[in-house]
Amino acid sequence: MRFYALLLSAILLTGCITTSVTKFPPHGSQHSAGVGDVMYQYEDLRRDEVNANTYGVKNELIYSGIANNQIKLVYREFADEFARPAFSQDAQYDYTPGMQVTFKGASFRILDASGQSITYLVEKGFTGEKPAKAAGLGL
């Protein structure tokens, strides 16, 4: 009898886990971002509706501006919705209009950059990204 109660509990709790994978902006699209804005973001989150906890990862690439003809970017990685300082990194690239920038597998074509904003085309997401999907059931 105890076995069946545990089995029923496991089945019910499994249905209480929602998952979502989001990418913004979508691959193949052109966008602009201001200084301090997120250029690209990937989230793979699981929410336990019973305990109201969220687990997963979020990766962001942020435009920090341009100085001395170098584009400055900041990469941040979050785990379980907390920033992990060891996973924050600054990067800079010599700027040429139309150049390609690749960071952690994510690839962007830089169309224009200034001290106020950047215009770019998202070519590819971070290494290891799962396909984007709407919220659903799963582990």
Answer yes or no: is pLDDT of 4 > 50. Answer: no
Nearest to 137, CA basis, from 49, 76, 60, 57: 49
37 HSE (CA, 13 A, CB side): 13
- pLDDT reported for residue 16: 64
CA 80 vs CA 10, 46, 56, 77, 134: distances in Å = 23, 9, 5, 10, 19
Nearest to 36, CA basis, from 73, 5, 71, 11: 73
**What pLDDT, in 10s, does the model give residues 27-50?**
899 999 999 999 999 988 777 666
DSSP-assigned letters across all residues of 38-66: EEEEEEEEEEETTTTEEEEEEEEEEEEEE
What is the rounded CA–CA span in Å between residue 109 and residue 97?
9
Q: Which of 5-9, 56-60, 63-67 has the highest mean pLDDT?
A: 63-67
pLDDT band at 21 (very low <50, low <70, confident <90, very high): confident
Q: Which amino acid is at 36?
A: G
Mean pLDDT, residues 38-66: 82
pLDDT band at 137 (very low <50, low <70, confident <90, very high): very low
